[in-house]
Chains A and B, each alone.
Chain A
C-alpha cells in the first residue's frame, strides 16, 4: 500500500503553506475569543422566554400567580386583557405561549371547586413550551393543595363559608405542602450538568466551522488542484491504484481536520477553562466522526464539480449554510422548531448535539452514540456516492 506516501506528501505541502496554517488555527482562535468574550457573563441569562397572560379573574390568588411568574428570571411576562386578541398574537407568533387565568379563579380555589389554567402554545417552540408548562404545573400543584384541603374540610362538615377561616386553612395546608411531603428526585445517567459559558457554544461552534473549511473547502479543492496542475495525471501513470490515490488524499484531509479540531478544543480548555467532559475517548470518537463525515462531503463536492473555482464557491456556500442553521453561530434551541428539524440534515447540527451532550451534560459515550451513528451514516453516503462517481480519465 502506498496510500501513506501520498498522505505524507499532502501533509508536507499543507505545512509549507503559512497562510493556510494561520487560517486553520489562528483565525478560529481569535474568533472564538472575540465572540465568547463579547457575549460575556452567564450564558443562560441570555435565554429569555416571552409569555403573554390574560387574567380574567384579577383577584388575590390570580394576582399572586402573576407575581410568581414575574419573579422567574427567564420569563418576560406581558399582559393582555382581551382573550381573542391574545390568541391572535400567539397565532401570529408574536408570543410563543399564552396563559389564560379563568374568571372566578380565586373564588373557585377559595370555595374548593375545580378550575383550570389554560396554556396555549405555538407548536414551533417546543422547548420553551415545555419549560413554561412545567412552571405552571408546579404552581397549579401548590394551588391544588389548598383546594383539596378546603374540599376535605367540607366533606367532614367543617363550615367553610367564613373567609377568615378559609384563609387560615389554606395557609396551614400550604405550610404542610412546602416543602412537598413527597419529594421527587431525578437522577440522570449522566453526572450533573456543567455551568454553561459562551465558550461551551463558541469553541465547538467555530472549531467545527473552521474544520469544514479544511475538510470540505481545502479537501475538495486539493483533488481538483492536482487534476488541473497535472500531478494527478502523473500519479495515475505511476504503479499505484485509484484506491490508493483516493485513500491517500482522504487520509491527509482527515488528519489535517482531526488535528485542527483537537487543537482548537484543547485551546478552549486551556485558555477559557472549557470543560471537555470526563470521557476523552468519547470526545475523540466524536471529533473523528465529524471530521470523517465532512471529509466525505468534501470529496463529494470535488467529484460533482469540474473546476477549482466551482469547488471553492460551492464548499463555502455549504459551510456557511450548515454553520448558520446547524448551530455553529448560535445555539440550536434559539431557532424555530422547523429550522431545528431542518438543521439535522447537516453535519453541524449532529456535531453540535454531540458536543452539547459531552461538554454540558457530560453524558459520555452513551450520550453520543446516536450522533456518532448518524455521522457515520452520512460518511458512508458521501464516500459511497463520491467514489462511485470518481473518474481518473
Chain B
C-alpha cells in the first residue's frame, strides 16, 4: 500500500428534503487500500459512495479523487473509477457477453481491445462457459459476478462496491472475495460499503463505521476492536421478553449495553460466560420463552453495539 492519498473526503454533507443523509463526514483513502464503510441499512453509506462516483452532488464539503474535484471534474473521475451498484444493474434479456460489450464500448473500448477485456473479465468471474447465455437464466450469485465484471472492463484505478455480497450464496461470496483481493493485489484501490461484518472483517484494511449519516469510528479491525476491550456479546432469541427482566439485566455491573428487538436481545458485557446462567435465569423467571442463546467473542457487531447502542442489522 502506497502513502499516496487517492481519495479525500472533507466535511461531506448531503441533505434531501431537509433530511440529513450524510452529516459532516471526513476520511482519506490511500492508494492500494481496501477501505470499508460499515453500517446498517439507511446509515448513509450508499449516499457517500454515490457522491464519490459523481452520481450525486454534495450539499457541502469536498471530495477529491486522484487530484480531481468531484464537483468540477466528474468526467475525468468517471474514467478512472469502476462502480459496482448494490442492485444487479444489467440487461437480463441480453447475454453476459452482450452486456459486457455494451458497457465496454461506453468506456471507449473497441475491436480487439474490447474482445480481450471482455474475455479477461469473464475469466475472472469464472463464467466464460456461460458467456453467451442470457442473464435471465443465471443464478443470483452469477449475476452479481457479472455485475462486478462490468466495472472492471476498463481496468479502473479505483473500484467502488456497494454491498457486493448481499444476497449471494457462500460459493459466490467466496469467489467475490477472491476477485476483490486479486484486484487489490494488482494495485486497485477499493472502497466497499457493507452491512455484513464478514465482508469488512475478511477484506478491509481499514473500516469506517457509519451510523445515521455520521462517521462514528475509523481504524483497522484490530484497532477498532480495542475500543470494546474484553467485552463479549450474548444474543438471546426469545418470545415475550419482559421489560422488567431487561431492566434487571441492565443493572448488572458487568453489562455495558443492552439492545432489544422483536424476538431477540443483544447484551454486551464483560465476563459473559460467567454471567450467562444468571441472565438466562432472570429472563426465564420473568416469563420469557427462550429459544436459543449464543455467546460471541468481540467482533464488529460488538463494536457497533458499543459505539451506537444499536445492533448492526436493524
Contact = CB atoms under 8 A, between A and B. Distances in A.
Interface of A: 2, 5-6, 9, 12-13, 16-17, 229-231, 233-240, 392-393
Contacts of A231: 89-91
Contact of B106 (A2, A17, A230, A392): A2
B103 interface: yes
B79 interface: yes
B56 interface: yes
Given A9-B102, A239-B79, A240-B106, A234 B93 contact: no
A237 B55 contact: yes
B78 interface: yes
Nearest to B57: A393
Contacts of A238: 78, 103, 106-107
Contact of A233 (B75, B85, B103, B106): B85
Q: What 9 A-B pairs have minimum CB-CB distances, sorted nearest first? A: A230-B89, A230-B87, A234-B89, A237-B83, A239-B78, A16-B93, A238-B106, A5-B105, A9-B102
B170 interface: no
Contacts of B105: 2, 5
Given A12-B98, A393-B56, A393-B57, A229 B87 contact: yes
B91 A9 contact: yes
A234 B85 contact: yes
A231 B147 CA distance: 10
B94 interface: yes
Contacts of B55: 233, 236-237, 392-393
A198 B122 CA distance: 56
B81 interface: yes
Interface in B139-166: 150
A9 B105 CA distance: 11
B196 to A, nearest CB: 20
Contacts of B81: 237
Contacts of A2: 105-106
B244 interface: no
Interface string B21-58: 00000000000000000000000000000000111110
A229 B86 CA distance: 11
Contacts of A236: 55
B108 interface: yes
B91 A237 contact: no
Given A2-B105, A9-B91, A237-B78, 5 more contacts: A6-B106, A234-B85, A234-B89, A238-B106, A393-B55
B91 A13 contact: yes
Q: How large is the interface on B (under 10, 10 to 19, 20 to 34, 35 or more residues)?
A: 20 to 34
B95 to A, nearest CB: 10
Contacts of B85: 230, 233-234
B88 A237 contact: no
Contacts of A16: 93-94
A16 B88 CA distance: 20
Contact of A5 (B54, B88, B102): B102
A13 B98 CA distance: 10
Interface in B97-120: 98, 102-103, 105-108
Contacts of A235: 106
8 contacts: A2-B105, A2-B106, A17-B93, A231-B89, A234-B83, A236-B55, A237-B81, A393-B56
B93 A237 contact: no
Contacts of B108: 239
B91 A239 contact: no
A11 to B, nearest CB: 12
Nearest to A240: B106
Contacts of B103: 234, 238
A255 to B, nearest CB: 17
B19 to A, nearest CB: 15
B137 to A, nearest CB: 13
Nearest to B74: A239
A393 B17 CA distance: 13
Contacts of B75: 239
Given A5-B102, A9-B102, A230-B85, A237 B90 contact: no
A239 B107 contact: yes
A233 B89 contact: yes
Contacts of B56: 393
A235 B150 CA distance: 11
Residue of A17, A231, A238 contacting most chain B CB atoms (<10 Å): A238
Contact of B150 (A17, A234, A240, A393): A234
Nearest to B102: A9
Nearest to A232: B89
Nearest to A235: B106
Contacts of B87: 229-230
A234 B84 CA distance: 8
A292 B45 CA distance: 41
Contacts of B53: 237
Contacts of B78: 237-239
A306 B102 CA distance: 27
A177 B228 CA distance: 116
B29 to A, nearest CB: 18
Nearest to B77: A239
Residue of A16, A230, A236, A239 contacting most chain B CB atoms (<10 Å): A239
B89 A13 contact: no
A141 B108 CA distance: 78
Contacts of B57: 393
A103 to B, nearest CB: 79
Contacts of B94: 9, 12-13, 16
Nearest to A2: B106
Nearest to B150: A234
B93 A239 contact: no
Nearest to A6: B106
